Structure 1
Amino acid sequence: MVSVHFSALKKISCCLALSSALLASVTSAQAADNFWQAIQQKGVLRCGAAPAAPYVMRDPKTQQYSGYFAELCRDFAQNVLKVKVQFVDASWDTLVAGLQSDKWDLAMALNQTPERALAIGFSSPAQDYQISFLVNKQNPKVNGLGSKITDYDKEEVTFAVMSGTAQDKALSAVIKKGKIMRMPGNDESRLALMARRADVLVDASDTNHLFALANPDWAKEVLPTPALAKQGVSFGVPRSVSEADLDVLNIYLSQRRATGEIDRLVNQASAQANAAK
C-alpha cells in the first residue's frame, strides 16, 4: 500500500510540473503574440534613442527628440497604436541590451547585422545604409561620370577617406587604379575635397547627404554601383515578437517608403541638422 501511495504522489507531481510548464509556455506565447496589444494597454510606446543625425537628434535646450526615426516612432505610436510615445535616453552601446532587458519596446536606427540578429529581431529597413561618393560638380576629372565604381577608378582620381573605417576597408577592396588618401578624421577628408587635393570623398551616405545639402552649389552625392557595404537601417525589436505583430510594423514602414514619406522625413531631418550646425 505504501509503495502504491508514493507512486500515485509521484504521478500527481509529474502532472503538476508538466501542467505548469505548459501554462508558462502558453503564457509566453500569448505575450509574444500580443506585443502591440500589451503596449496599447499600457498606453505608451517606449523608443530607445541614441542620438545620431539625421536618424535621431535631441535638442540640447529642450531635450526634445527629432530626426526621421524619431518621427516614425512618434507617428507609429500615435496613429497606428493610438498611444503616447516615450523616448528613452540610450547610447549605441546600450541599445541592444536595453531592448533585451525591457527598458524600451523599440530600438531606433539599428543597422541590420548577423551579430545583432543573434540577440534581437529587426523590422524591415526604413532606409538603406551604404557608402557614397561626394564630388565637386566643377571638377573636370569627375564631372559627367556615371555611378559605376569603375567610372571613378582611374589613375588620375584621388579618393579621400577616414583611415581605418569601414569606408576605408570597403574602398580598398574595390579601387585598383585610383589613389587613396587616408585622413585622420571627417573634417580632414572634407577639407581635402574642398581644396581639390582629393576628387572623391568617401563616407556613409547619410553623412555625405548632410554635407551635400549644406553645399548645394558645388557638392554632388553619388551612390556607387555595385553598392558598398549596404545594410538595412531598421527598428530593433525583442526576439519574442511574433511574425504577426512584426508584420504590423513592417507594413507601416513599407507603405511609408513607397509613398516617399520616409525620404521626405530624411530630407527634413538633414536640413534641421545642418541648420543646427
Structure 2
Amino acid sequence: MVIVPILCRGGFSASEVVLSEERRSLLTHKEIKMIRTCLKSGIAIFLTTLLLAASALAESRLQRILVEGELRVGTTGDWNPMTMIDPNSKERTGFDIDVAKALATDMGVKAVFVPTTWKTLVNGVVADKYDMTSSASLSPKRALVAGYSMTYFAVEDVPLMLEKNKGKYNSWEDLNNPNVTVAVTLGTVQEKRAEVIFDKSKIIKVSAPARDYQEVLAGRADISMTSNLEAAKLVDQYPEMMVVPVQEGKNPTPLAVLLPQADQVWINYVNHWIVLKTERGFFDQLEAKWLKQ
C-alpha cells in the first residue's frame, strides 16, 4: 500500500490518497507522473518553509541579543513613575526599568539602557539603535513604521494647572479658549491630541529634556496635559500643582513597548513573555510598587 499526500493541482481531493497494489497497477503513465510531481512539489514546499523559518530566526534581533548578551532598551528617563533617572546615583529607575531588567534576566542577558527622547523614540527602533523601548502609548501613526508588543497597562490624559488657579478652570471646555496657553512635549501622543482638544487655545511645544509641566511651574503656560499616572506623581512632587477637576480623563490608551515592525520572531518572544509574566502576577506587583505609592 502506498500513501500519497496531495500537495498540488490535478483533480485529486485535498486529503491523502491511499493506493492499493491493485490500484497502482491500473494507474496510467500520466497519473504516475502527476503523483511524482506532487511528491516533488511537497518536498520542495516543505524544505522552502524550513529554510524561510531558519532565515527569519537567524535574522531576528532575538538571536543577536542572545549572541551579544545585551538587550538594548531605548528610554527617555523623564516619565514618572515609568522611567526616571535618580538625581543622586544617576541610575535609571521605574516601572519600565524593572520590566526591561526582568526580561533581560529571563533571557540570560544584560539590559543596556539607551538614552532617547519622545521625539526620536520611534526612529531609534527603526534605525536599530535599540531593540525595544520602554512603555509607549499605542498610536496609529507610530504603528505605521514600528511594531508593538501586547499591552499590559492603560492610561488617560488629564490637564495640570497651578493650585493658585483653583476654581478658574473646571472642565475641558473652560480650557479651550484663546486666553489659555497649553504646554505639551514634542514627540508625545499628547502633542497631537492637544491640537484637537484645544483647537481654540494657544499651544506651546517644548523639546526634551525640558518638559511641559515645567512651563506651568514657570508661569509660561496655564496648563499642561499628561497621563493620569504622571499627573499623580507630579502633584505629589510639586504641591503647588493640581489636576484640573475635569469630569473625566480623555483618550484612554493602552501601553506597550515599541519593537521592530518586521521582526515577528522577536515580537512573538516578547508577547509570550508578557503573557507569562501577567499570569504570574509580575505586572500586578509592579503596579503596587510604582503606581500605588
If the length of structure 2 is used for normalisation, what is the TM-score? 0.57
Residues 149, 270 of structure 2: 8 Å contact kept = no
Shift, 1:139, TM fit = 4.9
Q: Is the aligned partner of 1:72 residue 2:136?
A: no
**CA 1:210–1:86 in 2, change beyond 3 Å: closer, same or farther?**
same
**CA 1:126–1:160 in 2, change beyond 3 Å: closer, same or farther?**
farther
Counterparts of 1:42-191 in structure 2, within 5 Å, are 42=67, 44=69, 46-54=71-79, 55-58=82-85, 64-78=91-105, 81=106, 83-92=108-117, 95-96=121-122, 98-100=124-126, 104-136=130-162, 139=165, 141=167, 149=172, 152=174, 159-162=180-183, 165-166=191-192, 168-173=194-199, 180=201, 182=203, 186=212, 187-191=214-218
* Unmatched segments (≥5 aa) in structure 1: 1-10, 269-277
Residues 114, 130 of structure 2: 8 Å contact kept = no
Hey, what's the Cα distance between the residues in 2 that align with 1:108 and 1:223?
Answer: 30
**CA 1:48–1:228 in 2, change beyond 3 Å: closer, same or farther?**
same
Hey, what's the Cα distance between the residues in 1 that align with 2:66 and 2:48?
Answer: 26
Asked which structure has the greater CA Rg, the reply is: 2
Hey, what's the Cα distance between the residues in 2 that align with 1:40 and 1:183?
Answer: 40
| Residue type of the alignment partner of 1:105 | D
Q: Is the aligned partner of 1:247 residue 2:268?
A: no
* Unmatched segments (≥5 aa) in structure 2: 1-36, 207-211
SS at match of 2:104: helix
Shift, 1:113, TM fit = 1.9
| Residue type of the alignment partner of 1:221 | V
RMSD of aligned Cα (Å): 4.6
SS at match of 2:134: strand
Q: Is the aligned partner of 1:213 residue 2:240?
A: no
Shift, 1:74, TM fit = 0.9
Residues 123, 250 of structure 1: 8 Å contact kept = no
SS at match of 1:231: strand
If the length of structure 1 is used for normalisation, what is the TM-score? 0.60
Report how many residues are paired.
235
- Report the identity percentage: 14
Hey, what's the Cα distance between the residues in 2 that align with 1:63 and 1:188?
Answer: 24
User: Which whole-Å deviations, capped at 9, do the CAs of 1:245-269 have from their partners, x for residues lacking one?
Assistant: 5132245358444x3623632577x
Hey, what's the Cα distance between the residues in 1 that align with 2:234 and 2:87?
Answer: 22
Shift, 1:68, TM fit = 2.5
Residues 159, 202 of structure 1: 8 Å contact kept = no
